[in-house]
Structures are given as structure tokens and as C-alpha cells.
Amino acid sequence: MDFGLDEAARKRCEAIDADVRAHWAGVRAVADPAAARANFRAAGRIGLTGLSLPAEVGGAGLGALDTALCLEAFGRACPDTGFAFAVAAHLLACAVPVRDFADDRVREQLLAGLASGELVAANAMTEDGAGSDVGALAVTARPTADGYLLDGEKSWASNAPIADLVVTYAATDPAAGFLGLSAFAVPTDLPGVVLGEPLPKMGLVGCPAGRVRFENCLVPAEYLLGGEGQGAAVFQHSMAWERACLFGIYLGTMARQLEECVEQARERRQFGRRIGEFQAVSHTLVGMRQRLEAARLLLLRACWLLDRGEEHVTEVALSKIAVSEAAVANSLDALQLFGGRGYLTGGAEEQLRDSLPSTLFSGTTQIQRELVARQLGL
């Protein structure tokens, strides 16, 4: 096992770190769709929106491992974790399935815009009655001579209020459950696509999220991803990439958070001593470092397996559990270490709010444990 980065990967991550700090230094997370669109274009110029897309469309052509390393650099340098999440969701849950399942005409139409950040994509799977139970989708796609008529509403889609494209899933054969789902890349300028207003959230405010409604929306057949009834396979593929790579952002956020906590422990004085000299504080910082390093190893192994085309369900699920739980635990420790200052708006309290949804999106922690249990034969 070689734990070192090759020269190209090291330079790539250093360049992302420098570019992101130059553009987002001191930026505060705000729930502003107009700002989010401008940020997407800036991220596109840095290359973040096309990390894993082919070079011929303006992407970097990276595999899962190198994509995760770049997203870690992004998360470490960007003070707005919500926006970093928005970019990763756009890339991994939307652009990747277009890359791997769209027909040539649609790939030619969409991938360059997705890579540049000029097109913003949203992933719409969740419904009011179907979250983890994706086999219970109520949105339907009825085949017609010209394509598919989509009807129904998605309850939660990151980037939806500013999306130019929605990757969504609908039942083409409702009686078949999970096996009757189909996936679509739906341009939001099609008649019958209604994007809701941004939903109020406790964290990740830099990523606008909203409802998506399809009102007798005719989607041309060319926008079908994979074949009819292949929606489950498309979704599992996109979730493997998202669960394996997106959480690199949280590794970066935790690394930045740890640096801030160590600086606080060195500078803050109580009872005539730096607080880092108290064992209760120093051991807390060691625990934060341990969680970060252990989670990073699990994530990189999951991405390595994904790149090799080997079985990765267990490793991706374990990685997702480890990173998300470490992010929450470290944020609670950071809040405690900063005390009253940490409770003020921004800083530790914001990191805690941004860490909490990591245990929910891309499949809850409980669902990840169920996946591992099945792999154990339970």
C-alpha cells in the first residue's frame, strides 16, 4: 500500500486549495440563489464542476479516488460547506449518471455545460412517501409515442431552485416496485417542470434545495438514462460515486476545523495556562485527529475499489458512516472547545449545523448499516 500522492495529484490539490481560497476567502454562507449560480460559474473556472467528467467536454477525466482528493481540498479551503456540497451533488449524483448512461446526443448536449458550471443540475429522488424506500415512488412516467409523461412531485432536491437539469426517477411500471423504476435527465425548461422556492434549512445554507413538480411533463425518449426499468441500477451507480467521493468535502472541513481548534488551544489562556496544556483539551484534540484519519482511510479505500471495478458496497457504506459520524462528533467537540465564542453565529456552531445532515443525505446512517448487514448475510 502506497499512501503517498503522486506529483500530479499533489499539484492538482494544491492548485484547488489556492484557487478556492483566493475566490472564497472570508465568504459567509448565505441562502441566495443568485449567489449560488455565480459561485457555480466560479467553481467551473477552477474545474470543480467537471472533476470526473471526460476531458473532451472540458472535464478533468478523474477517477473516484482523485475526485475525492480534490473535493477534500475544496472542503478544506472553502468556508461555505453548503456550496461545496452543492457542487459535489451536481457532479456525482447528476453529471456522473449522464456521463455513464445518457445516449450520445444527450451527452453532447449536456456534459460540456455541466463540466463548466454553466448548467446546474439537481438530483430528485426523494418524495414525501419515499425516502429510503425508493421502491415506493409515486412519481410516474407513462410511455407515449413521443417519450414519457411524468407526473408527480419530488419533495427534496439539492440545487433544484436554480437547476437547468433535473436527474430524476419515476415508476414506468408501478407494479414492479424497485424493478419498475426508470431514470431521466430532464431539462427544466420543458413544459410541465415546476421548481419550488428554496426550502428553509438549519444547515448547508449555501446549497439551495427545493421541491420539483412534474405536471403532465412530456420528456423526449432520448432523455431516458439507461434503458426503461434500469432506474435502480442508475441510482445505485450514482449513489456509489456520491457516497464514496462527496464525503471528501467533510474530510476537508474536519481538517480545517481541527487546525482552528489547535490554534484556539494554543492561544486561549485560562488559569494562567494555555488551554491546550490541560489534558481534557489535548486529549479531545487527539480524538478529533483520530476520527479524521480513520475516516479518511475508509473513504480512500472505498474510492480505490470503485476505480478498480471491484465489489465496494460494504466499503462505501462503512466510509459514509465513519465520515458522517466523525463530522458530527468533531463538531460537537469543537463547539465545546470554543465555549461561548463557538456558540456565536458562524464558526463552530455553523460547522455543527452543516455536519448533521451528513448522516441523512445519500442514505441515512441506518440504511448504510442495513447495507453492511446484508453483505454479512444477515
What's the chain look like in SS3?
CCCCCCHHHHHHHHHHHHHHHHHHCCCCCCCCHHHHHHHHHHHHHHCHHHCCCCHHHCCCCCCHHHHHHHHHHHHHHCCCHHHHHHHHHHHHHHHHHHHHHCCHHHHHHHHHHHHHCCCCEEEECCECCECCCHHHCCCEEEECCCEEEEEEEEEEEECHHHCCEEEEEEECCHHHHHHHEEEEEEECCCCCEEECCCCCCCCCCCCCEEEEEEEEEEEEHHHEECCCCCHHHHHHHHHHHHHHHHCHHHHHHHHHHHHHHHHHHHHCEECCEEHHHCHHHHHHHHHHHHHHHHHHHHHHHHHHHHHHCCCCHHHHHHHHHHHHHHHHHHHHHHHHHHCHHHHCCCCHHHHHHHHHHHHCCCCCHHHHHHHHHHHCCC
The verdict on whether 315 is a catalytic residue reads no
Q: Which of 72, 108, 215, 242 is catalytic?
A: 242
Residues tagged active-site: 242
